[in-house]
Amino acid sequence: MKLQETKIIGAGPASVLCIVGTRPEAIKMAPVISAIAERPSLNAHVLMTGQHGEIASNALSSFDIDKINWLDLSDIGHHLADQAGELLKGISAYIAHHKPRYTLVHGDTTTGFIGALASFYSSVPVGHVEAGLRSGELHDPFPEEANRRLADQLCHRLFAPTEIARDNLLREGISHNKILTTGNTVVDAVRYLARKMKPTHKLDELKDVLGPQKQLVLVTTHRRENWGEPMRNICKAVKTIVHSHEDLQVILPVHPNPMVKDVIESELKNVERVHLVNPLSYEALIALQRDADLILTDSGGIQEEAPEFGTPLLILRQTTERPEAITSGLAKLVGTCEQTIIEEANRILGDQNTKPKCKNPFGDGLAAQRIADVVESHINSCN
């Protein structure tokens, strides 16, 4: 496993290691990385494990973050144990060489959990951004629910995005002194991009795809628990919905994993007004969430992003770690039953009311600054 020449963001003397694996992690960590780099006493090392490779680094570039350090994981297989073992060796080697004063990990991925474990083994304090989310089912989502629970036990500070997440941690016996409710950094990210986004139909990625239809539906599906028949049911529902609404078009960015791509293309490739597109830039995805009349998704991040725009959301999962989206009235958990998806989508598309205006339940856009405050204060107190 090779480490390239080290790249650092910021001019301060104390290094904060920010570990990123997937595109959602990159998006949610970007405001934190920027906030760390702006502190005169700190600098940020961005370490990417390459789980989502180019699309993750492209997401960081949306926030003008281009100094990235990579772990070479090209020889790792797809088995979770193999990935975890190689990540532990690689991240531990990086920490041993660069000796960061603090580590930040994010969310529910193997990268996040192993980043926390490597830091713990190396006696480097670690903060967990987006701590405390729980579905209540250890195997759903798999392995993400376990990754979150394990990471939370290893961390110096737990940055809970909401009061519900904070309460989850307290119920598990974690001291309130370790927990700070910050809001979700995705709100910081969405608000940053929303200030500079073009209308959807003017985006280079979509202007030749979108037609003149009046209604727009965004669909995303990729999660492991939906592979196979559940994803096929989702696609069949999409086909029925678009056939039922002559003024409707669907945009579906297709995840490159063959377990996802093969099913989606077999069901929807030649369906009129269903546009299967390559993975989109984060700006384009946010613009679609803003401009869509309905979103169907099994993504965790979109559950947090869509409420910023009041866009109705149907969650294509059996459980969610983000109940705030549901209690806000903007989202509904519908699972992967074909008929249920059809009925709920038709209900929303048949309602001509404008999007409701409500407070985003996931934060106020200042989460990254709160996290940087804690990190800076801890490092300064140890000097």
376 is catalytic: no
Amino acid, single-letter form, for residue 272? E
Pick the closest to residue 154 from 124, 111, 120 (CA basis): 120
Q: Can you give the C-alpha Rg of the chain in angstroms? A: 20
> Do β-strands 313-315 and 331-333 pair in parallel, antiparallel, or remain unpaired?
parallel
Residue ranges in the chain assigned as alpha helix (H):
23-38, 53-61, 80-98, 110-121, 144-154, 163-171, 185-194, 229-244, 258-268, 282-291, 300-305, 323-327, 338-349, 367-382
9 - beta bridge partners?
A: 44
Q: Catalytic pick from 25, 86, 144, 305?
A: 144
Number of other CB atoms surrounding residue 22 within 10 Å? 25
Q: Give the CA distances from residue 364 to residues 123, 180, 300, 308, in Å, rounded to whole numbers and listed in that order.
A: 33, 15, 19, 10
**Is 255 annotated as catalytic?**
yes
Sequence-separated (6 or more) residues with CB below 8 Å from residue 250 = 216, 217, 218, 219, 238, 241, 242, 273, 274, 275
Instruction: Catalytic residue, from 39, 45, 101, 130: name it.
Output: 130
* Rounded Cα–Cα distance for residues 310 and 290 (Å): 8
The amino acid occupying position 70 is W
Q: Cα(237)–Cα(229) distance, rounded to whole angstroms?
A: 12
d(Cα 172, Cα 156) in Å, to the nearest integer?
16
- Shortest CA distance to 84 belongs to which of 63, 57, 115, 120? 115
- Find the catalytic residue in 222, 223, 290, 322: 222
Check 191, 201, 255, 273 and give the catalytic one. 255
Answer for the pair 118, 151: CB distance below 8 angstroms, yes or no. no
* Catalytic pick among 25, 86, 108, 152: 108
- 36, two tokens: 């760390």
Please confirm, yes or no, whether 106 is among the known catalytic residues: no
- Active-site residue flag, 5: no
140 is annotated as an active-site residue: no
The question of whether 45 is a catalytic residue gets the answer: no
Catalytic hit among 224, 232, 273, 275: 224
Catalytic residues: 108, 130, 144, 222, 224, 255
